Chains A and B, each alone.
Chain A
Amino acid sequence: MGTTEMLQREFLAAVKRLCDATPDQWERRLQRWKEQQATHKLLDGVYKLCAELRDKPARLRDAAIARAAAQITSKEAGDDRTTHHQRSV
């Protein structure tokens, strides 16, 4: 596994932890984000996506994260085998 893929997986793991966080923890994080008046464009998007993911059932959320990981792996491997497999299933 290359460094790029490792970092991407690390990112996905962080997103998953954020999605699985309790409502209290999630609220606290959002509150802090607002208080700091942070404007990091990427993080803004990540929070929005996490909020969207949290609204979905855990089954679907895990499937989306697993799919993203599979896409990352297949791109790293330089082929689109996973994508093709997913398309054909």
Chain B
Amino acid sequence: MRTTTTARISYSLLNAIVIVCLLFPFFWMISASFKPQLEILNPDYLFKFTPTVQNYVSIFQDHDYMKYIVSSFIVAVLSTLGSLLLGLPAAYSIAKYKMDSISLVILVAKILPGISYLVPWYVIFNKLHLIDSYVGLIMSHMVIGLPFIMWIMIPFFGAFPREIEESSWIDGSSKIRTFAQMVLPVSLPGIITSSLLAFIFSWNNFMFSFVLAGEKTKTLPIAVYNFMGGTSINWGALMAAACVITLPVIVIAMLAQKYVVSGLSAGAVKG
């Protein structure tokens, strides 16, 4: 009896340690975002401080963060939609007609480092005046979203029973119509998983936007990174900005936790 009690206590303790480790940096980010700069700079105020929303006011008033949020949102939504538009039919075709060599191409595109495209894109986009344009930025983010969506959806479509499709074709429905009206609705869980993650990857993307975005299209991660420049760092505002980028991602992850966990465990990691 005694051993089980000890075991249970140490088990709960371990649980608590793991959870504290996981959450602490988030707690720290949020608490610093509500601290006045002077108290951040003074270690005596590590845990007790006078909360203020001044940091948040400052990033929206002094630094046009609304604009960056809109940019990030436009790029993330449109690149996800674009990836779905191209990726869903392609994944279906690859799954149904067993085009294994093409699925290998997708895998290679997933493995290659993002920076390998960035040099040529930068040169080519410069010539085509696509630097600091939404078109260029969205296309670059689709290079992460598209292979990812196909990667998740190929096994999903592969599992769809052939007989159901065939009976629909016999009933005179065209193949495109069968795909749109029968296959897609049933595949909704996979589509939701892959779209949510594609959205998150785009929202979080730093490297592509850093090089390809400019004043007009600057996304949130770049705005926050640029915020660090200068002689002294305004930590409170920096952490407020970090909270603003991370919040939507956390909300999505919480709401769709079942989908996101399965998507991430399916080998789903950024480009």
A and B together in one complex: no
List residues of A whose CB falls within 8 A of some B CB: none
